[in-house]
Amino acid sequence: MPARNPGSPRRRNTALFLNRILTAHRLNCSMTTWMRSGERLLETLADSLTGFDHVAEQAHRFDFYSYCEHYAVQRGQLARTFKGVMKQRGSKLPIHGTVLGSAHRLYLDIRGALDSGVVAVLEELLRGETFLASRADATLEHEGLPDDIYEIVRLIRANTSQSLLDLKAMLSHASKGFAAGSFRLYR
């Protein structure tokens, strides 16, 4: 029986082949992980846009309507861009938002009706925007995130951060008992 040679061409080729498979698996795993995270972000963006429309329809106050209109336009443009890039990368795009988003809108309606207060609605808007921010952060944390995806998600996160700042200012203003009509979203 011939002696086994660890440096034989056959063993080297097998080792190289296995190494290539392992590397491809790691790259594919990395891609599917950020892809799933991006798709979850797309779902949450869809919920966000539906939520803005919902609050704007229910708004009897110009400050809520103004806030929702302003961010819905920007967020809609970002969502369309993000959806297009994700589709180019092979994403299976969600058609609608999530059940969680629908439940949150229903809860917002009930809480707003029971509390009949501006503060309650602002707190729920703040909670929804915080959730969107966490989804954007989770997507940004992935290694191997393509540059174009990173850039769009970074813009989504910046938009959400500004929205959170505006909501916190509106909440602070309303909590102090000021008339919401005296709050100006844009300075």
Question: Could you tell me the CATH number of the domain that includes residue 122?
Answer: 1.20.1260.10
In a domain, 5, yes or no: no
Q: Does residue 106 lie in a domain region?
A: yes
Cβ proximity of 120 and 107 under 8 Å: no
120 located within any domain: yes
Cα separation, 154 vs 37, in Å, equals 14
122-161 pLDDT, tens per residue? Answer: 887 888 899 999 999 999 999 889 999 999 999 999 999 9
pLDDT, one tens digit per residue, over 35-85 is 889 988 998 888 888 888 877 777 666 677 788 888 889 999 999 999 999
Site of tokens 């921010």: 133
Both tokens of 177, joined, read 């008992």
* Within a domain: 94: yes
Cα–Cα distances in angstroms (integers) from residue 53 to residues 4, 64, 89, 105, in the given order: 71, 11, 29, 11
Give domain status of residue 14, yes or no: no
**Would you say 153 and 136 are in contact if contact means Cβ atoms under 8 Å apart?**
yes
Domain that holds residue 44: 36-180
Going by C-alpha positions, the residue among 113, 127, 139 that lies closest to residue 163 is: 127
Q: How many domains does the chain have?
A: 1
Q: Is residue 73 assigned to a domain?
A: yes
What is the identity of the amino acid at 142? H
Domain assignment of residue 98, yes or no: yes
> Is it the case that residue 186 has pLDDT exceeding 60?
no
> How does pLDDT run across 88-131, given as a tens digit for each residue?
988 876 555 555 555 555 655 555 554 556 777 788 788 889 99
CA distance readout (Å), 92 to 18, 34, 87: 30, 13, 7
Any long-range contacts for 158-161 (C-beta under 8 Å, 24+ apart)? Answer: 159/71, 159/74, 159/75, 159/78, 160/129, 160/132, 160/133, 160/136, 161/133
Position 76 in a domain: yes
